[in-house]
Amino acid sequence: MRDTVTAVYEIESALPLEAVAEVMAGEQSCGTFVAVARETAELRARHAATVRSVEELPLSGATPLPGAAGEATEIRRGRVTIDFPLVNFGPSLPSLLAAVAGNLFELREAAALRLVDLDLPAAFADAYPGPQFGVTGTRRLAGRAEGPLLGTIVKPSIGLSIDELCALVAELAEAGIDFIKDDELQANPPGLPLAKRVPAVMEVLKRTAERTGHMPMYAFNITDDIDRLAYHHDLVRDAGGSCVMVCLNSVGLAGTDYLRRRCELPIHGHRAGFGAYSRSPQLGIAFRAFQKLARLAGADHLHTNGIANKFYESDDEVLASIRDVRTPLLGGYAALPVLSSGQTPGLAHATYEAVGTQDLLVLAGGGIHGHPDGSAAGVRAMREAWASALDGEPLDSRAAAVPELATALATFGRR
């Protein structure tokens, strides 16, 4: 039997959906728009992608993509499942992308075309080591054996002086936070380069840890040209740091894999830019497919957003993303979902009830730094909110005992 990659698409077309599925399979394997010499039956048997199923779905109601063939009134929607022979590309993520997520988005036959899921053969597990630390390794390095890891993002995102940054990091570390990250906008800017930021921040974290006995994980954003990734990683490692962060779409999945193969620290995978190819329901790549590729490429932490966030996704979509990241891939590839964007203490109970797991990294930026009594009070409020959720204690009862939590709820609201 052929080893195959199975790709699932949601499409719309005014043409018969079965015919469109055949065009997709043909264009993305051995066909072109006219019959050509040497395209033998034997070649097709070995290399042709094959349509496994076409199921009709209710129409989305969204405008057809530009250039779509046929009459708009004839459009139907369907889920198309196609098997691609592994022999066409081998277990190579970049080559896989050209096959399952390449030219086909441009086909006139499609009024909508979205890659929603991928099922990969074991050969990919042999080729890609994937997350090196995952949930367990991250808990160990962050010193938080149970409960959700609570984190924050340095704010303002950019522009702090090194002294201001160090003061903020000291305050957060003193407050007992588990995780601090650079903003996705703060990478290696000329004014505050990693060469200056990494040793200064690590010095603060070590000094604080001497007193508190606990050092938070700090994700340094090392997003940059490929040739600087290993250098910046080594800088973090050598300074005693425990995490590096990259914007997955900026360095690319191939760039993430390149880093992974040289990496001795967890990789915090930020999804900035994901919306460009995923927010339209008519086009692109859905989170379920994307997160599998990102985990293969080595991301230990993956942003899913959280409920009630400031971005476009519904709570149901966010919760599905969290489940996706926690679902084993090829028998492993455990990664930690990162709940972020607009997260506040008032969301802890609703989140825990919906996800049913403590294996989460919950980030609050404004929800911590914007606390009227300062960042330390913000951390305390988040911690108490989550502790009460895990204990099954109502939020109000805990807030009555913890003034920082009461203030946070009054300031940021609740779900």
Choice from 184, 359, 384, 404 touching its own copies (CB under 8 A): 184
In the bound complex, what is the minimum distance in angstroms from residue 394's beta carbon to its own copies? 26
In the bound complex, what is the minimum distance in angstroms from residue 152's beta carbon to its own copies? 11
Choice from 59, 195, 261, 401 touching its own copies (CB under 8 A): 261
First to last CA, the chain: 51
- Compute the distance between CA of residue 264 and CA of residue 332 in angstroms, rounded to an integer: 19
Please spell the DSSP secondary structure of 357-377, one letter per residue: -S--EEE-SHHHHT-TT-HHH
Choices 11-19, 104-112, 201-209, 348-356; region in contact with its own copies by CB under 8 A? 104-112
- Compute the distance between CA of residue 294 and CA of residue 263 in angstroms, rounded to an integer: 15
**Residues of span 7-26 touching its own copies by CB under 8 A:** none
Nearer to its own copies among residue 47 and residue 214 (C-beta):
47
- The separation between CA 312 and the C-alpha centre of its own chain, rounded to angstroms, equals 15
Residue 60: other Cβ atoms inside 10 A: 17
Place of tokens 């075309």: 113
In the bound complex, what is the minimum distance in angstroms from residue 242's beta carbon to its own copies? 22
Choice from 155, 214, 237, 323 touching its own copies (CB under 8 A): 155
Choices 195-203, 231-239, 251-259, 386-394; region in contact with its own copies by CB under 8 A? 251-259
Choice from 53, 136, 157, 357 touching its own copies (CB under 8 A): 157
- Give me the amino acid identity at 50: T
If binding is defined by CB under 8 A, does position 170 make contact with its own copies?
no
Nearer to its own copies among residue 241 and residue 367 (C-beta):
367
In the bound complex, what is the minimum distance in angstroms from residue 384's beta carbon to its own copies? 20
Helices (H), 175-262: 194-212, 226-238, 248-260
- Compute the distance between CA of residue 371 and CA of residue 174 in angstroms, rounded to an integer: 16
156 cis-preceded (ω within 30 degrees of 0): yes
Nearer to its own copies among residue 161 and residue 357 (C-beta):
161
Choices 5-13, 85-93, 230-238, 381-389; region in contact with its own copies by CB under 8 A? 85-93
Choices 135-143, 265-273, 380-388, 393-401; region in contact with its own copies by CB under 8 A? 265-273
Question: What are the phi and psi torsion angles at 145 (to 5°)?
Answer: -70, -35
Please spell the DSSP secondary structure of 314-344, one letter per residue: -HHHHHHHHHHHHS-BTTB---EEEE-SS--
If binding is defined by CB under 8 A, does position 257 make contact with its own copies?
yes
Q: Distance of CA 333 to CAs 133, 151, 219, Å?
A: 9, 22, 20
- Compute the distance between CA of residue 37 and CA of residue 44 in angstroms, rounded to an integer: 13
E strands, 109-161, in order: 112-119, 149-153
Pair 99, 118: CB distance under 8 Å? no
If binding is defined by CB under 8 A, does position 47 make contact with its own copies?
yes
In the bound complex, what is the minimum distance in angstroms from residue 374's beta carbon to its own copies? 7
Kindly tell me the sign of the dihedral angle through the C-alpha atoms of 336, 341, 344, 350: negative
**Residues of span 26-45 touching its own copies by CB under 8 A:** 28-39, 43-44
Structure token pair of residue 239: 């300074």
Size of the site for its own copies (CB under 8 A): 102
If binding is defined by CB under 8 A, does position 63 make contact with its own copies?
yes
**Residues of span 275-334 touching its own copies by CB under 8 A:** 275-277, 279-285, 305, 310-314
If binding is defined by CB under 8 A, does position 185 make contact with its own copies?
yes
Helix (H) or strand (E) holding 283: strand 283-285
Choice from 16, 50, 52, 62 touching its own copies (CB under 8 A): 62
- Compute the distance between CA of residue 189 and CA of residue 30 in angstroms, rounded to an integer: 46
Choice from 255, 298, 306, 346 touching its own copies (CB under 8 A): 255
- Compute the distance between CA of residue 13 and CA of residue 36 in angstroms, rounded to an integer: 26
**Residues of span 349-408 touching its own copies by CB under 8 A:** 365-367, 369-370, 374-375
Choice from 57, 59, 156, 400 touching its own copies (CB under 8 A): 156
If binding is defined by CB under 8 A, does position 414 make contact with its own copies?
no
Place of tokens 């040289």: 262
If binding is defined by CB under 8 A, does position 182 make contact with its own copies?
no
Nearer to its own copies among residue 133 and residue 290 (C-beta):
290
In the bound complex, what is the minimum distance in angstroms from residue 213's beta carbon to its own copies? 27
Pair 10, 79: CB distance under 8 Å? yes
Choice from 79, 97, 121, 209 touching its own copies (CB under 8 A): 97
